[in-house]
Structure 1
Amino acid sequence: MSDNVTISIDSLLNGLSSAPSNPSIFRVGDHLRSINPEAYDPEIIAIGPFHRGKHHLQNMEKHKVRYLKLVLQRKEESTVEIYVTALRHLEDRAQKCYAEDIQLDEHEFVKMLLLDGCFIIEFLRKFQNLKCRDEDDPIFQYGYIQSHLLHDLMVFENQIPFFIIDSLFNMIKIDKGDKINSLIWPLLQNGIFPLQDLPEAPETQHHLLGIVHDLQCSSFAKRLSHIDFMETENINSAIELQEAGIAFEKSESDSFFDIELKNKSMIIPVWEISDSTESLFRNMIAYEYYLTGSPQRYVTDYVFFMHCLVHSPEDAKLLRRSGIISNFLGADEMVYRVINQLGKNIIISDKFSYSNIFHIVNIHCGRTRNIWMATLRRDYFSSPWALISLLAAITLLVLTIIQITFAILSYYYLDTLACLGKAFELNVRRMEAIQQLDLKSDDAEKSGLSETSVYLIKNTDAGLDAPLLEPPQNEGIMSLEDSSENVKRGIVEESSCFSFNLFEGIILICKWTNMIQAVCEMSQAVCKWLCDCLAGGDSDNCIQETS
Structure 2
Amino acid sequence: MSEKDENVVCMKKELSVTKVTKSGGGQASGGDQGQPAEITTTEQTSEVVITIHEEAIRTRRGEKLKKIWEVAEAAQKQNAEPKIQRVPIMLRDHKIFDKCFEPRVVALGPYHHGKEKYEQVGDKINDLRECYDEKATKDYDDEALAWMLFVDGCSTLEFMYKYEKLEEFKIKRDQVAFAEQDMLLLENQLPHRLLKWLIKKSKIHQELNTSIEGFIRMHGGAPRDPATKREPTHLLDLLRTRMVGCPPSPSTKSGRRSTEGGHSFRNVQELQAAGIHFRYSKTNSLRAISFKLRFQCCGFLYLPIIKVDDSMRPKFMNMIAYEMCSDFQNDFEVTSYIGFLDSLIDHPDDVKHLRKKGIVRNLLGSDEEVAQLFNEIATDLVPNDAIYRNVKTQIEDHYKTKWKTWMAQFFHDHFNSPWTFLAFIGVLLGLGLSGIQTWYAVFSDPSPCDAVCKYLKTHPG
TM-score (normalizing by structure 1): 0.54
State whether residues 243 and 377 of structure 1, in contact with CA within 8 Å, keep that contact through their aligned partners in structure 2. Answer: no
State whether residues 243 and 284 of structure 2, in contact with CA within 8 Å, keep that contact through their aligned partners in structure 1. Answer: no
2:303 is the alignment partner of 1:274? no
Range with bigger deviation, 287-296 or 117-126: 287-296
Alignment counterpart, residue 224 of structure 2, candidates 179, 186, 198: 198
Identity over aligned pairs, percent? 26
Alignment counterpart, residue 88 of structure 2, candidates 15, 29, 35: 29
State whether residues 245 and 374 of structure 1, in contact with CA within 8 Å, keep that contact through their aligned partners in structure 2. Answer: yes
Q: Which has the larger radius of gyration?
A: 1
CA shift in 2, pair 1:249/1:149, >3 Å: same
Residues 454-469 of structure 1 mapped to structure 2, 5 A cutoff? none
Name the CA distance, whole Å, in 2 between partners of 1:330 and 1:30.
31
State whether residues 31 and 345 of structure 1, in contact with CA within 8 Å, keep that contact through their aligned partners in structure 2. Answer: no
Alignment counterpart, residue 361 of structure 1, candidates 388, 392, 395: 395
Deviation string 1:385-405 (CA, Å, 9 cap, x unpaired) is xxxxxxxxxxxxxxxxxxxxx
State whether residues 23 and 99 of structure 1, in contact with CA within 8 Å, keep that contact through their aligned partners in structure 2. Answer: no
Deviation string 1:95-135 (CA, Å, 9 cap, x unpaired) is 4x4565643333322221111111112222222xx5xx588
Which residue is 2:196 aligned to?
Answer: 166
Deviation string 1:418-456 (CA, Å, 9 cap, x unpaired) is xxxxxxxxxxxxxxxxxxxxxxxxxxxxxxxxxxxxxxx
CA positional deviation for 1:286? 1.0
2:342 is the alignment partner of 1:316? no
State whether residues 314 and 332 of structure 1, in contact with CA within 8 Å, keep that contact through their aligned partners in structure 2. Answer: yes
One-letter amino acid matched to 2:352: K
Deviation string 1:373-417 (CA, Å, 9 cap, x unpaired) is 899999x99x9xxxxxxxxxxxxxxxxxxxxxxxxxxxxxxxxxx
CA positional deviation for 1:330? 1.8
Which residue is 1:137 aligned to?
Answer: 169
One-letter amino acid matched to 1:182: T
Name the CA distance, whole Å, in 1 between partners of 2:326 and 2:207.
25
Name the CA distance, whole Å, in 1 between partners of 2:127 and 2:243.
28
Deviation string 1:241-288 (CA, Å, 9 cap, x unpaired) is 111111111223242431111121101121110111111111111111
Range with bigger deviation, 307-316 or 229-238: 229-238
More helix by share: 1
Which residue is 2:35 aligned to?
Answer: none
CA shift in 2, pair 1:286/1:373, >3 Å: farther
CA shift in 2, pair 1:324/1:136, >3 Å: closer
Alignment counterpart, residue 337 of structure 1, candidates 362, 368, 372: 372
One-letter amino acid matched to 2:97: N
Name the CA distance, whole Å, in 2 between partners of 1:44 and 1:324.
32
Name the CA distance, whole Å, in 1 between partners of 2:122 and 2:282.
49
Deviation string 1:321-378 (CA, Å, 9 cap, x unpaired) is 22211111121100101111111121212x6321110011111212344567899999
Name the CA distance, whole Å, in 2 between partners of 1:232 and 1:184.
41
Name the CA distance, whole Å, in 1 between partners of 2:271 and 2:370.
19
Which residue is 2:109 aligned to?
Answer: 48
Name the CA distance, whole Å, in 2 between partners of 1:358 and 1:99.
43
2:388 is the alignment partner of 1:348? no
CA shift in 2, pair 1:135/1:364, >3 Å: closer
Which residue is 1:249 aligned to?
Answer: 279
Name the CA distance, whole Å, in 1 between partners of 2:360 and 2:197.
40
More strand by share: 2
Name the CA distance, whole Å, in 1 between partners of 2:266 and 2:359.
17
Which residue is 2:329 aligned to?
Answer: 294
Structure 1 unaligned blocks of 5 or more: 1-18, 62-83, 384-547
2:103 is the alignment partner of 1:103? no
CA positional deviation for 1:29? 2.4
Alignment counterpart, residue 125 of structure 2, candidates 88, 94, 104: 88
2:211 is the alignment partner of 1:183? yes
State whether residues 216 and 255 of structure 1, in contact with CA within 8 Å, keep that contact through their aligned partners in structure 2. Answer: yes
CA positional deviation for 1:199? 2.6
Residues 350-429 of structure 1 mapped to structure 2, 5 A cutoff? 352-369=386-403
2:246 is the alignment partner of 1:214? no
Name the CA distance, whole Å, in 2 between partners of 1:106 and 1:294.
30
Which residue is 2:160 aligned to?
Answer: 124
State whether residues 82 and 233 of structure 2, in contact with CA within 8 Å, keep that contact through their aligned partners in structure 1. Answer: no
CA positional deviation for 1:207? 0.9
Residues 441-456 of structure 1 mapped to structure 2, 5 A cutoff? none
State whether residues 24 and 291 of structure 1, in contact with CA within 8 Å, keep that contact through their aligned partners in structure 2. Answer: no
Secondary structure at the aligned position of 2:140 is classed as coil
Residues 68-83 of structure 1 mapped to structure 2, 5 A cutoff? none
Name the CA distance, whole Å, in 1 between partners of 2:266 and 2:244.
26
Name the CA distance, whole Å, in 2 between partners of 1:228 and 1:209.
23
CA shift in 2, pair 1:373/1:100, >3 Å: farther
CA positional deviation for 1:299? 1.1
Name the CA distance, whole Å, in 2 between partners of 1:39 and 1:312.
24
Structure 2 unaligned blocks of 5 or more: 1-73, 294-298, 417-461
Name the CA distance, whole Å, in 2 between partners of 1:261 and 1:217.
18
State whether residues 202 and 214 of structure 1, in contact with CA within 8 Å, keep that contact through their aligned partners in structure 2. Answer: no
TM-score (normalizing by structure 2): 0.63
Name the CA distance, whole Å, in 1 between partners of 2:239 and 2:174.
22
State whether residues 87 and 114 of structure 1, in contact with CA within 8 Å, keep that contact through their aligned partners in structure 2. Answer: no
2:336 is the alignment partner of 1:305? no
Q: Which has the higher contact order (CA 8 A, sep 6+)?
A: 2
Name the CA distance, whole Å, in 2 between partners of 1:224 and 1:313.
36
State whether residues 296 and 352 of structure 1, in contact with CA within 8 Å, keep that contact through their aligned partners in structure 2. Answer: no
Which residue is 1:12 aligned to?
Answer: none
One-letter amino acid matched to 1:188: I
Secondary structure at the aligned position of 1:42 is classed as coil
Secondary structure at the aligned position of 1:189 is classed as helix
Name the CA distance, whole Å, in 2 between partners of 1:250 and 1:88.
46
Q: CA RMSD in A?
A: 3.3
Aligned residues: 327
Name the CA distance, whole Å, in 1 between partners of 2:82 and 2:304.
33
Which residue is 2:148 aligned to?
Answer: 112
CA shift in 2, pair 1:165/1:312, >3 Å: same
Alignment counterpart, residue 146 of structure 1, candidates 176, 193, 217: 176
